[in-house]
Amino acid sequence: MNKSICPRFEKAIGLLSQRWTGLIIYQLLEGKQRFCTIESSIGISGKVLSDRLKDMEKSGLVKRDVFPETPVRIEYSLTEKGLSLKPIMDDIEKWAHDWVDLEENKPVTK
């Protein structure tokens, strides 16, 4: 059977499989956060986080709010599109709990 992959599915997987994207989404499911909070929570470099947030903002997953205070405050949050990933992230978290062992090469048995 020659079944082709749906182009929308392929694009979605491409977006979500970018390094750090899933962890950033997971972190932002907790609510609005500042750059430094996201950076320290997931252990990502500032440059990579900045690039990833820009990509996610361009894709409509993340919203960036700038507050004209001194110093300027910037908060990131998930858009409706980003929040719609919550059930998927919950399922991945459950799957990881059931099937992923933190010790390398140790199979998880049920």
Which tokens is 42 given? 């997931």
Q: What is the pLDDT of residue 36?
A: 95
Q: What is the pTM of this model?
A: 0.86
Q: pLDDT tens for residues 61-108? A: 999 999 999 999 999 999 999 999 999 999 999 999 999 988 766 666
Q: Which of 63, 75, 77, 65 is nearest to 28 (CA)?
A: 77
pLDDT for position 65: 97
